[in-house]
Chain A
Amino acid sequence: MNLDMTIFHQAFFEEAADLLAELETQLLRLEEAPNDIELLNTIFRCAHSIKGGSATFGFTDIAHFTHGLETLLDRLRNGQAKVSGELTQLLLESLDQLKSLLAVARGEAASAPNSEPLIARIDAAIADSEGQKPTIAAVAAEPEIANEVQRYVFRFVPNRDVMRQGSDPILMLRNLFEMVEEVQVRCNRSNIPLLNDLDPEACYVSWEMEFNSIHPMTSLLEPFEFVSDECEVSLTAVAGYWEDNAQPVTTIVAAPTLADSAVQEVTAAAASSTAPAAETSVNAAAKMETHTLRVSTDKIDKLINLVGELVINQSMLNEVVQHFEISNLPRLLEAVAAMERASRELQERVMAVRMLPIKHAFGRFPRLVRDLAATCHKKIDLRTTGEETELDKSVIEMIADPLTHLVRNSIDHGLETPEERIACGKNEMGVVSLNAFHEGGNIVVEVSDDGRGLDKDRIYRKAIDRGLISESDPMPPDDVLHNFIFHPGFSTAAKVTDLSGRGVGMDIVKQAVQGLGGAISLSSTPGHGSRFRIRLPLTMAILEGLSLRVGDEVYILPLTSIIESIRPKAGDVRVVAGQTEVAMVRGEVLPLLRLYQFFGVEPVVTEPTRGLLVIVENDGRKIALLVDELIGQSQVVIKSLESNYRKVDGIAGATILGDGRVALIIDVPGLYRNVMPAQPIMSTAA
């Protein structure tokens, strides 16, 4: 086949990742409900699909590995084997192996651990389930004949619909013929109907043939792997020639259990020889990987309806405008209003296309918690709520790692051992909760535990050690103290034990969250646990903003960072140390930043009492921005300034105003970096 498969690889990887996630979820449920036959069926189907996909796209090692797994699952499904703790562990380990193999195929990892020990264990489990051990015999038999010429009888009766399902029997036979010689073929045409009744898309013929081959049966049957469920495929090794009336030696009938993993050594050898070639093509595929998104057809149908509505609105508008008289004004206004409604809804729906439920990020945790519980010797109950809360796809992808870190943190440091818990009068089962919900235009994700809570004394001492506060300072209030753990280099090892010694600190988590335009905060009660709260914007493409005027320029300030805006009275703005200006707002002293100075705008208002102070907050620190006036609040579409230009200090991006002009969006965290680079953390509290 000359068809370039690499273009389909991406689709396969995505599907496989989904299937693996499903497999994992179901396997974990299997631990609790070992006799649920429906569960076993689902698990089997996942494995079967992965095997099918990997074989089609030429990932032989994955297909080979999954094949054994599938056989074992089939035994489970048929009740020939029993689900046990040991077996579930084996299945989970196999799942991990599959993940590594897939990572290699994607070009993300250089090599995967050797599959053979696991395959051997799977085979052993299969053999156990049979009582007898025919597979062992086959292992012995197969390599012997592998390199010798063997005569085979082959029968292939394609299903009538085989071509409609996208398979071409001729292609399969051609692939087979590359491996065989001295072929004698009989084609059975007796089923071909008269031309009147003939369906041109149906397959009416079948074949019987005999050939010599040095290839093992599994390789010979490989081209037919995909149709083996629907078509009759049988391959029989014969001692001599057809005419000799020879006795069949071994018969393998293609069925789901076809071609036992018994031939592992042979196929593994074949796989390793083809591996370098496969790897290069996969690397090429990984390079041209594009980000794709699966969208439910439901969402797309709604979009199409809306676009239809928009087109109708537009033609209505055209008609009104073409023969416009002033008496038609109400109709025009009506048409414009309808247009606005439709385009607003279109905007919302298009944004919704990018939204995925957060369970995509939560999905990995049951397994993580199960494994961590085992290594930490703790009993953990993971509770998740709000899994259906939708978030932008890119946000979900980027929030997964910080969340993982928080969950590990809660388990490692937060939860006590069962003995300690009982001693404290708590249930020995610790609870880790993941909650997601909407809150005022934001998505909030919480990771909480009912463990021991943060040790304030240790953090206080550590902060003094690191010079963040001086020894003479009193113990700061809780929120300031808690914030120290997000400080770079403020090692988590300061808190009790550290099992894993990961190099990732809480500052990385904080950076990741801020990179998404979000914020993280923490509350903790000693003895009752702690709670991390991540607040994220709904989407990164649209922003609720306040437009404001500075001189004769218009800027957009993200609404989420604004606390309030006030008109200062005379005397509210003071100069400190002859340079820095501060604003007194309800007794609080805030640094003042004149935006026209920072942005180099020709000023119109320089007297604070004639302008407005907008108080913004980032990171728990507030500053007052002096602007000329506020224009209004609106949703703006964020456009990148960097794609054609570069990053500009104090500017997060650009947007297009209603009149087509460009307005710049103020980067609030950036203001802090540029305005007060050397500001000590304790500025407001000290």
Chain B
Amino acid sequence: MNSNQVDPVNIQAGSTAENGQYLTFSLGDEEYGVDILKVQEIKGFVPTTRIPNSPHEVRGVLNLRGTIVPIVDLRRKFNLEPVEYDQFTCIVVVVVQERVMGMIVDSVSEVMNIPSADIQPPPDFGNGLVGNMLRGMARTGDKLIILLDIDAVLLGDSVGMAMAA
């Protein structure tokens, strides 16, 4: 399992960040957060080139200043209803394991400081896919933010990256 190899790295990164900064974005009714250090840039949605014989959630590839970047649609990844892309739709470009990848989200919200004390471990889903993709849950005010382990999300088996790693 690729995600199992990824985990130790994240635990380490999480433990050193006493006051971790997270980029939050919305997807459906939920608010998600990813480690800001993994984010390279945010850009508006642009059409991608489909890659044949690839998993459903890999929407295609994009030319990012001369680099070919695969784009994962997080709605597809999380089995959410598809929506029309609009002016709020964003591509969050992240660097995971030295790979540049993009993910499509409904809209980007803000950069938040979340003290590690406010982060609860994810509820026990067993050792399934869902459990591996979560780093924890953070409560700020009345909002619950789901913190993603982005390496596991993007490099997990279902995106088909395991073949490459």
Residues of A within 8 A of B (CB): 553, 598-601, 639-651, 654, 656, 660-664
Asked if A553 and B68 make an inter-chain contact with CB atoms under 8 angstroms apart, the answer reads: no
Residues of B within 8 A of A (CB): 47-54, 58, 60-63, 66-70, 99-101, 160-161, 163-164
Q: Which of A599, A643, A649, A662 has the most CB of B within 10 A?
A: A662
Asked if B67 and A651 make an inter-chain contact with CB atoms under 8 angstroms apart, the answer reads: no
Asked if B68 and A662 make an inter-chain contact with CB atoms under 8 angstroms apart, the answer reads: yes
Asked if B53 and A661 make an inter-chain contact with CB atoms under 8 angstroms apart, the answer reads: no
- In the complex, residue of chain A having the shortest beta-carbon distance to the beta carbon of B69: A644
Q: A642-B164, A643-B99 are in contact. Are A656 and B66 (CB under 8 A)?
A: yes
- Contact partners of A644 in chain B: CB under 8 A: 67-70, 99-101
- Contact partners of A598 in chain B: CB under 8 A: 52
B73 CB to nearest A CB, Å: 14
In Å, the complex CA distance between A641 and B70 comes to 8
Asked if A650 and B63 make an inter-chain contact with CB atoms under 8 angstroms apart, the answer reads: no
- Contact partners of A639 in chain B: CB under 8 A: 66-68
Asked if B53 and A645 make an inter-chain contact with CB atoms under 8 angstroms apart, the answer reads: no
Q: Which of B52, B54, B67 has the most CB of A within 10 A?
A: B52
Asked if B53 and A553 make an inter-chain contact with CB atoms under 8 angstroms apart, the answer reads: no
- Contact partners of B161 in chain A: CB under 8 A: 645-646
* Interchain CB contact (< 8 A) of B68 among A599, A601, A641: A641
Q: A553-B50, A601-B52, A663-B49 are in contact. Are A645 and B66 (CB under 8 A)?
A: no
- Contact partners of B58 in chain A: CB under 8 A: 645
- Contact partners of B70 in chain A: CB under 8 A: 644-645
* Interchain CB contact (< 8 A) of A646 among B63, B100, B160: B160
In Å, the complex CA distance between A242 and B48 comes to 86
In Å, the complex CA distance between A600 and B50 comes to 10
- Contact partners of A646 in chain B: CB under 8 A: 160-161, 163-164
B95 CB to nearest A CB, Å: 10
A627 CB to nearest B CB, Å: 14
Name 29 interchain pairs, CB-CB below 8 A, sorted by A.
A599-B52, A599-B53, A600-B53, A639-B66, A641-B68, A643-B68, A643-B99, A644-B67, A644-B100, A645-B51, A645-B61, A645-B68, A645-B101, A645-B161, A646-B160, A647-B164, A648-B52, A648-B54, A649-B52, A654-B68, A656-B66, A656-B68, A660-B63, A661-B49, A662-B48, A662-B49, A662-B61, A662-B68, A664-B51
- Contact partners of A645 in chain B: CB under 8 A: 51, 58, 61, 68, 70, 99, 101, 161, 164
Asked if B163 and A650 make an inter-chain contact with CB atoms under 8 angstroms apart, the answer reads: no
A654-B68, A656-B68, A664-B52 are known; give 9 further A-B pairs, CB within 8 A: A643-B68, A644-B68, A644-B70, A645-B101, A648-B53, A649-B53, A660-B63, A661-B63, A664-B51
Asked if A664 and B99 make an inter-chain contact with CB atoms under 8 angstroms apart, the answer reads: no
- Contact partners of B49 in chain A: CB under 8 A: 553, 654, 661-664
A363 CB to nearest B CB, Å: 36
Closest 6 A/B residue pairs (Cβ): A646-B164, A599-B52, A645-B70, A662-B49, A654-B68, A644-B99
Asked if A662 and B63 make an inter-chain contact with CB atoms under 8 angstroms apart, the answer reads: yes
- Contact partners of A642 in chain B: CB under 8 A: 164
- Contact partners of A651 in chain B: CB under 8 A: 51-53
B89 CB to nearest A CB, Å: 18
- Contact partners of A648 in chain B: CB under 8 A: 51-54
- Contact partners of A654 in chain B: CB under 8 A: 49, 61, 68
- In the complex, residue of chain B having the shortest beta-carbon distance to the beta carbon of A662: B49
- Contact partners of B51 in chain A: CB under 8 A: 641, 645, 648, 651, 664
B60 CB to nearest A CB, Å: 8
* Interchain CB contact (< 8 A) of A600 among B52, B60, B63, B67: B52
Q: Which of B48, B54, B63, B70 has the most CB of A within 10 A?
A: B63
Asked if A661 and B99 make an inter-chain contact with CB atoms under 8 angstroms apart, the answer reads: no
- Contact partners of A601 in chain B: CB under 8 A: 52
In Å, the complex CA distance between A660 and B101 comes to 18
B17 CB to nearest A CB, Å: 26
B76 CB to nearest A CB, Å: 16
A640 CB to nearest B CB, Å: 7
In Å, the complex CA distance between A171 and B49 comes to 61
In Å, the complex CA distance between A664 and B48 comes to 12
In Å, the complex CA distance between A598 and B52 comes to 8
In Å, the complex CA distance between A11 and B51 comes to 42
- In the complex, residue of chain A having the shortest beta-carbon distance to the beta carbon of B53: A649
* Interchain CB contact (< 8 A) of B47 among A647, A661, A664: A661
A607 CB to nearest B CB, Å: 22
Q: A645-B61, A662-B62 are in contact. Are A650 and B53 (CB under 8 A)?
A: yes
Asked if B163 and A647 make an inter-chain contact with CB atoms under 8 angstroms apart, the answer reads: yes
- Contact partners of A663 in chain B: CB under 8 A: 49
B146 CB to nearest A CB, Å: 25
A626 CB to nearest B CB, Å: 15
* Interchain CB contact (< 8 A) of B63 among A553, A640, A641, A656: A656
A518 CB to nearest B CB, Å: 24
A373 CB to nearest B CB, Å: 47
In Å, the complex CA distance between A646 and B100 comes to 12
A175 CB to nearest B CB, Å: 42
B121 CB to nearest A CB, Å: 31
- In the complex, residue of chain B having the shortest beta-carbon distance to the beta carbon of A599: B52
- In the complex, residue of chain B having the shortest beta-carbon distance to the beta carbon of A660: B63
Q: Which of A600, A647, A648, A660 has the most CB of B within 10 A?
A: A648
In Å, the complex CA distance between A641 and B68 comes to 6
Q: Which of A553, A640, A643, A645 has the most CB of B within 10 A?
A: A645
In Å, the complex CA distance between A235 and B62 comes to 70
In Å, the complex CA distance between A662 and B71 comes to 12
B161 CB to nearest A CB, Å: 6
